[in-house]
């Protein structure tokens, strides 16, 4: 039980650290808190897939195959650069396609980021808590805890950043904010490539 508590506390700390996921949620929440929450739901759905992959041992095959790893890395970065382009053009032409679009953005971003899978592979085994429960089930339990706290944090960050943007009177469609949001997508894409 101590291992699970330690895992929960360290997962909270890791999720709160400024990283691609938090930046992505904040970026989308500047305009609309629901968009940020949908991105958070998408990110957590991607975490479900990663948890299942490591639970059933497929991750070791992916990790050892450079072609798959490189494909995921470059596809993920290109997708984020594409989102930066859409954000940049949105000021003139594009309208939101509904909240499901933001859900899919979060889902794709998390799914194609191989660093998440590698992180889970390195992180979860340190918190195995039972000699009687199969390791695959322990991974599923740890993944569920991680996903639950991540969803809570993402929703909290979305609501807080949106509230701050309203208090500070940000014009989410102003040129500076559009450039900033595009820059964040590029930054996240570059972080996947490094």
Give me the residue spans of the domains in the chain: 31-193
Q: How much is the pLDDT for 94? A: 42
Mean pLDDT to the nearest integer, 115-130: 84
C-alpha distances (whole Å) from 37 to each of 8, 60, 155, 159 are 21, 32, 5, 8
pLDDT at 39 over 90: yes
Q: How much is the pLDDT for 75? A: 79
Mean pLDDT to the nearest integer, 144-173: 87
pLDDT at 3 over 70: yes
Q: At what angle do helices 135-167 and 33-55 cross, to 10 degrees?
A: 170
Question: Confidence class of residue 154 from pLDDT cuts 50, 70 and 90?
Answer: very high
| Span 84-117, pLDDT tens digits | 887 777 654 444 445 558 999 899 888 888 778 8
Mean pLDDT to the nearest integer, 24-47: 90
Range with lowest mean pLDDT among 1-5, 9-13, 76-80, 126-130: 76-80
Q: How much is the pLDDT for 45? A: 96
pLDDT at 181 over 80: no
Q: Which of 9, 42, 39 is nearest to 23 (CA)?
A: 39
Q: How much is the pLDDT for 76? A: 72
Q: Quickly list DSSP for the chain.
A: -HHHHHHHHHHHHHHHSS-HHHHHHHHHHTT-HHHHHHHHHHHHHHHHHHHHHHHTTHHHHHHH-HHHHHHHHHHHHHHHHHHHHHHHHHTTT-----HHHHHHHHHHHHHT-HHHHHHHHHHGGGG---SSS-HHHHHHHHHHHHHHHHHHHHHHHHHHHHHHHHHTT--TTSHHHHHHHHHHHHHHHHHHH-
Q: How much is the pLDDT for 65? A: 74
Q: How far apart are CA 76 and CA 80, in angstroms?
A: 6
Q: How far apart are CA 187 and CA 107, in angstroms?
A: 18
pLDDT at 69 over 50: yes
């Amino acid at each position: 039980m101590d291992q699970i508590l330690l895992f929960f506390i360290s997962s909270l700390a890791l999720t709160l650290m400024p990283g691609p996921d938090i930046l992505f949620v904040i970026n989308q929440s500047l305009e609309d808190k629901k968009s940020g929450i949908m991105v958070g739901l998408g990110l957590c759905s991607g975490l479900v897939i990663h948890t299942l992959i490591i639970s059933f041992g497929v991750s070791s095959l992916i990790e050892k195959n450079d072609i798959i790893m490189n494909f995921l890395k470059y596809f993920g970065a290109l997708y984020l650069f594409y989102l930066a382009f859409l954000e940049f053009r949105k000021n003139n032409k594009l309208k939101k396609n509904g909240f499901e679009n933001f859900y899919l953005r979060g889902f794709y971003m998390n799914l194609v980021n191989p660093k998440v899978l590698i992180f889970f592979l390195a992180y979860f085994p340190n918190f195995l808590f039972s000699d009687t429960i199969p390791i695959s089930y322990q991974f599923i339990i740890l993944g569920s805890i991680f996903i639950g706290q991540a969803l809570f944090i993402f929703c909290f960050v979305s609501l807080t950043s949106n509230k701050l943007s309203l208090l500070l009177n940000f014009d989410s469609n102003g040129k500076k904010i559009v450039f900033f949001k595009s820059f964040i997508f590029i930054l996240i894409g570059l972080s996947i490539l490094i």
